[in-house]
Structure 1
Amino acid sequence: MDRETPLPASDWVLRNTQPGRVERIEAWFGGHGYDPHRHDTYSIGRTLSGVQSFHYRKSLRHGLPGNTLVLHPDELHDGMAGTEAGFRYRMAYVDPALIQQVLGGEPLPYIAGGLSNDPRLYQASETFVQAMDHPLEALEEQDALFDLAMALRAVAGKPRGRKRLDYRAAERARDFILAHLHQGITLEMLEHASGRERWSLSRDFRVLYGTSPYRFVTLRRLDQFRALILDGFTLVDAALAAGFHDQAHMTRHFTRCYGVPPSRWLERLRTHGQLAGSYKRR
């Protein structure tokens, strides 16, 4: 940054609250951003300025303007500024189920290293890393999801050595989870709902959606928790309403997923003066 562009006083996160199927953020961090954590989505992003450094699969990576960040679902990573100038970036969190609607039951594409210079991915992710004040029309988002799924598959290449997957059974299990989040879901219940033997189902679920059935349940409850605290619920009330045993139980899972505790997550949104809004996973 030059002398006429002062550094932001504190870290901030701007979150798109437009109804849609893909969550999008823009953020600036002057130093440490996030502790090691895991999402169950693809994290597709672009560094706008500075150096975005992160540990990923036991190596330190450096995202620069012009790269496309592609973090695979459920891969451990953190985030920090690579220089004293800080970094600014945009990120879209893409539900693997949206990619599967295009691929129709193939193993999720894997981009090695978490970074890509491939122009196909850069172009296919362009829609999702536009400025937050650019609303995505429903058809625009759907077209972009198709392009992104095709680019991920093309750049990753065809996986080898996989057994046949039962995509429809895994889809039935996913639908059952979404409809029964406030119950104590078991593999036996998922086996009955899907018609697939439980261990085969558990394996297929991981390959198709990037995470285990248990992690999927937990993160959907965290989605509900985030929506509730953005609507003004207290942390303890939101935790109980979303199906956690207590606030401490929720906080452990929240920090593992987002790299910061919920109070810090809210503080970063407020730092940028963003009004509360709801987000719902579809």
Structure 2
Amino acid sequence: MREHLLGVAGSRLRFGCGAEGIERLEAALVGAAFSPHRHDTYAIGMTMAGVQTFRYRGERRVCLPGEWHILHPDELHDGAAGGEEGFGYRILYVDPFLVQEALGGGPLPFVADPVVRPQRMHPALAACLRRMDEPLDEFARLEVALLVVAALERHADAPPRRTHGKPALEALTRVRELIAADPAARHTLAEYERVSGLDRWTIARQFRVVFGTSPTRFRTMRRLDLVRRALRQGTPLPEAALAAGFADQSHMTRMFKRAYGFTPGEWAAALV
């Protein structure tokens, strides 16, 4: 990675080929790289160069070259370089829904210690990051999902927390699909109840268990997906904000930085 991005002034981000529910990103960052933020996906990355430090679940963590980190949906974290030379990493962002499909339903695995030694991760996951510019067809997507689930289950410190009864996966998926079909639309709780056949309290409890985040945050992240797509196409920030259903540019900027640790302008400027 060093020959790709490290040594280039400032911070740089480069997206590889992804698939539905999977993003691959290469980053080179310096200093206090990004402010505290949360993803609605699993983030499974490898430090490629330099020393990466981050605060996660109340502790300062250090990730050296070759080491992995596993971050859970909706867990607050920041990121900084452990030295003046900066650091670089490659990372998979995996939708909890894809993890659910691979698991066949049930609570998501939880890994308490985010830093994983390289010998404890499957070599095929490292290969997936090394070859991030190769397209992921439906078979490769399935393989990546199974590798991610295997890693999560292997490193989970305890069995997943159980809820009262098995989550209503099919019903909750209908709520998820309603939101994803038009993130800019303002759906009501009554609509969620209608499409799922569940009451709003069950939806609120079980949606997070199954998908790793709340319906509200899931909608926010899908709107931010629309913003990122628009920014890649050169759309001005005010237009991108309104098209994605945000009240205005400042509202969008707050949500964007909270999710990614960059403002939309910083994110767009860092794209390679």
The normalised TM-score by structure 1 is: 0.88
Q: Distance in 2 between matches of 1:6 and 1:116?
A: 23
Q: Which amino acid aligns with 1:184?
A: R
Rounded to whole Å, the distance in 1 between the matches of 2:161 and 2:32 is 38
* Equivalent position of 2:61 in the other structure: 61
Matched, 1:138 2:138: yes
Conserved? CA contact 1:56–1:113, under 8 Å: no
The equivalent residue for 1:12 is 12
Change (3 A) 1:122 1:40: same
| Alignment map for 1:33-44 (pairs within 5 Å) | 33-44=33-44
**Letter matched to residue 162 of structure 1:** T
* 8 Å contact from structure 2 (residues 17, 135) kept in 1: no
Aligned-CA RMSD value: 2.1
1:46-86 CA-partner distances (Å, limit 9, x unpaired): 00111110010111001112322100001000111011221
* CA shift digits 1:176-219 (9 cap, x unpaired): 11124232112221111111111111110011111110000111
Rounded to whole Å, the distance in 2 between the matches of 1:124 and 1:158 is 25
Give yes or no for the alignment of 1:22 onto 2:43. no
Would the aligned equivalents of 1:16 and 1:24 in 2 still touch at CA under 8 Å? yes
Is it true that 1:182 corresponds to 2:184 in the alignment? yes
Corresponding residue for residue 32 of structure 2:
32
d(CA) in 1 for partners of 2:180 and 2:29? 34
Identify which range, 132-141 or 81-90, moves more after superposition: 132-141
Tell me the secondary structure at the aligned position of residue 109 of structure 2. Answer: coil
2:113 is paired with a residue whose SS is helix
| AA aligned opposite 1:220 | R
Offset at residue 22 of structure 1 (A): 1.2
Contact 1:26 1:90 in 2 (8 A): yes
Q: Determine if contact 2:19/2:141 at 8 Å carries over to the other structure.
A: no
Matched, 1:215 2:242: no
Once the two structures are superposed, the pairs formed by residues 11-160 of structure 1 within 5 Å of their partners are 11-17=11-17, 20-117=20-117, 119-123=119-123, 125-156=125-156, 157-160=158-161
Classify the secondary structure of the residue corresponding to 1:113.
Answer: coil
CA–CA distance in 2 between the matches of 1:6 and 1:125? 22
What is the DSSP-based 3-state SS (H/G/I as helix, E as strand, rest coil) of the residue aligned with 2:223? helix
Is the CA contact (8 Å cut-off) linking 1:14 and 1:26 kept in structure 2?
yes
Give a deviation string over 1:131-173, Cα, whole Å, max 9, x none: 4333333312221211221331232142244322221221111
SS at match of 2:228: helix
Is the 2:19–2:137 contact (alpha carbons within 8 Å) kept by the matching residues of 1?
Answer: no
Contact 1:54 1:77 in 2 (8 A): yes
Matched to 1:152, the amino acid is L
Distance 1:129 1:37, change over 3 A: same
Whole-angstrom CA distance in 1 between matches of 2:9 and 2:191: 50
What is the distance in 1 between the residues matched to 2:193 and 2:10?
Answer: 48
Deviant stretches of 4+, over 6 Å:
none
Alpha-carbon distance in structure 1 between the residues aligned to 2:84 and 2:146: 38
How far apart in 1 are the matches of 2:82 and 2:201?
42
Offset of residue 128 of structure 1? 3.4
Match of 2:227 in 1: 225
| Change over 3 Å in CA distance of 1:228–1:154 after alignment to 2 | same
Structure 1 contact 68–122 (Cα < 8 Å) conserved? no
TM-score, scaled to structure 2:
0.91
In 2, are the aligned partners of 1:121 and 1:152 still within 8 Å (CA)? no
Q: Which residue of 2 aligns with 1:206?
A: 208
Report if aligned partners of 1:118, 1:155 keep a CA contact under 8 Å in 2. no
Report if aligned partners of 1:57, 1:113 keep a CA contact under 8 Å in 2.
Answer: no
Q: Does 1:265 align with 2:242?
A: no
The answer to which of 194-203 and 146-155 deviates more is: 146-155
